[in-house]
Amino acid sequence: MIADFRRRRAGMVGLGFLVLTALVALAAPLFISANDLSAAFAPGLPRRAPSGHFLLGTDAYGRSMVDVTIWGARISLTVGVLATLLAVGIGALVGVVAGHFGGWTDTVLMRVTDWFLVLPVLVLATALASVLTPGVGTVVVAIGVTAWPTTARVVRAQTLSVESRPYIERAKALGGGHWHVMRVHILPNVMPLMLAQATLTVSAAILTEATLAFLGLSDPTKVSWGTTLQLARSVGAFSAGEWWILMPPGVAIVLVALAFTLVGRALEQVLNPRLQERM
């Protein structure tokens, strides 16, 4: 399967880019100090165009856009990944339980899932984010709680197909409890699907994080791509034509979201044999 994945160029490019981004984000504290990111004691003058000293200019506080964009990756990636873990976790739990137990449990859980699918997500996330204390955790919860239904549906479908396989019957006949069957037989079978689903959800989560931050529902003291764009908008950088404040975070969001999507699609193709023949 890994070899399969490696043959998919787009997926590999995406993966490579993500690994690089993650490394840079992790290493950021080594070359960016707290003062570089302080609004009060920023190293440069506010909103200066790119120059030899600040390769991408400075933001509204006078911080280097290079530093801000690199640091933003930390929050944006963290939120994206954590929110996805939460969403896929809830989705997988609901999907596996619904698919395994069937009957009323299935009906009720799927009803709840359908209901969540119906709720306007941005509206729901906005409301959640404003109820809880602002911060990274809140944004994670707001995204996680609203993004799980798709995963639940997909996982349930897969669980149903796994359940119909003969060895599950055998396991049940041999006295395997629900927990045992779900953990030992079903989970490993839906795991790859969850992985594909997760990579696709990350890009959506990163976009939603930016959107919530842009609407002012994130903690503005934390540097993320979303809060950087929100700050740019609130000081009027767009109409002032200060492209160097707008492009780096926006392009970063596009690239990372795209990279996750490419990896997700490649994974899906690897996992879906029917598609595989055709590619």
Partner 1 sequence: MSITASALPDTAAVPPAPQGGAAARRGPVIPLRYVVGRLVGAAVSMLAVVFTGFFLFRVVPGDPVRSLTRGRAMTNAQLATLRHQFGIDKPLISQFGDYTSRIVRGDLGTSYQYKTSVSSLIGSHVWATVYLVGTATLISAFLGLRIGVRSAWRNGSRSDRANTGIALVLWSMPTFWLALIMIMVFSVGFGPIPGMFPTGGMSSPNVHGLFPVIWDHFRHLVLPCLTLVAVLYAQYLLTMRATLLEEVGSDYLTTARAKGLREDDVRRKHAVPNSMLPAVTLVFLNLGTAVSGSILAETIFSWPGLGSLFYEALTVPDQPLLEGLFIFFSAAVIVMNLLAELLYPILDPRVRTS
Partner 2 sequence: MPFPNPRRRAFALAAALAGAAVLSAPAAAASGPAQARGAHSQSAYSQADPTAVSSSGKTLTVGVTSTIDSLSPFLAQRALPTQIHRLMYDFLTNYDPTDDHPIGALATSWTTSADKLTWTYTIRDGMKWSDGQPVTAADAAWTYNLMMTNPDAATANGNFVANFAKVTATGNQLVITLKQPQSTMLALDVPIVPEHIWAGHVKDIGTFNNDTQFPVVGDGPFILTGYQKDQYLTLDANPNYWRGKPAFDHLVFKFYKDADSEVEALKKGEVDFVDGLTPAQYESLKGQSNIVTNDAPGKRFYALAVNPGATTTTGQPFGDGSPALQNQQFRQALMYAIDTKTLVTKTLGGYGTTGSGYIPPVFSTYHWSPDPSSAYTYDPAKANQMLDAAGFKKGSDGMRTMPDGKPLNLRLMGETNRPDDTQDATYVAEFLKAVGIATTTTLVDQGKLGDTEVAGNFDLAFDSWTANPDPDAVLSIQTCATRPSAPGKSAATDDFLCDKNFDALYAKQITEYDPATRASDVKQMEQVLYTDAYINVLYYPDVLEAYRSDVIGSWDKQPQPKGVYWGQDGYWSFWSAKPAAASAASGSSSKSSSSSTGLIVGVVVVVVVVLGGGLVLMRRRRTASAEERE
Residues in contact with partner 1 by CB under 8 A are 10, 111, 114-115, 117-127, 130-131, 143, 146-147, 149-151, 153-154, 157, 193, 196-197, 200-201, 203-205, 207-208, 210-211, 214, 229, 233, 238-239, 241, 243, 246, 250, 253-255, 257-258, 261-262, 264-265, 268, 272, 274-275, 277-279
Residue 256 identity (one-letter amino acid) = V
| Contact partner, 60, from partner 2, partner 1, none, Cβ < 5-8 Å per class | partner 2
Least Å from the CB of residue 39 to partner 2? 4
Q: Is 274 exposed, middle or buried (0-12, 13-18, 19+ CB in 10 A)?
A: exposed
- Which residues 6+ apart lie within 8 Å of 116 measured at CB? 146, 148, 149
x-or-dash pattern for partner 2, window 177-196, by CB under 8 A? --------------------
C-alpha 76/C-alpha 126 separation (Å) is: 18
Q: Which of residues 203-232 bind partner 2 (CB under 8 A)?
A: 216-221, 231
CA dist 13 and 136 (Å) reads 29
* Residue 134 near partner 2 by CB under 8 A: yes
Q: Min. distance of Cβ 59 from partner 2 in angstroms?
A: 11
What are the C-alpha distances in Å from 254 to residues 79, 110, 208, 215?
A: 16, 33, 12, 18
Residue 232 contacts residue 60 (beta carbons within 8 Å): yes
CA distance 139 to 83: 8
**Residue 220 partner contact from partner 2, partner 1, none using kind-dependent CB cut-offs of 5 to 8 Å:** partner 2
Q: Does 38 bind partner 2 (CB under 8 A)?
A: yes
163 contact, one of partner 1, partner 2, none, CB 5-8 Å limit per kind? none
With binding defined as CB under 8 A, does residue 67 bind partner 2?
A: no
Give residues with Cβ within 8 angstroms of 25, minimum separation 6: 70, 73, 74, 77
Q: Which residues lie closer than 8 Å to 88 by C-beta, 6 or more apart? A: 148, 151, 194, 197, 198, 201
Give 208 or 218: the residue with its C-beta nearer to partner 2: 218
Give the whole-angstrom CA distance, residue 201 versus residue 191.
15
User: What's the closest the beta carbon of residue 54 comes to partner 2, in angstroms?
Assistant: 17
Residues forming contacts to partner 2 in the complex (CB under 8 A) are 38-41, 46-47, 60-61, 130, 133-134, 216-221, 231, 233-242
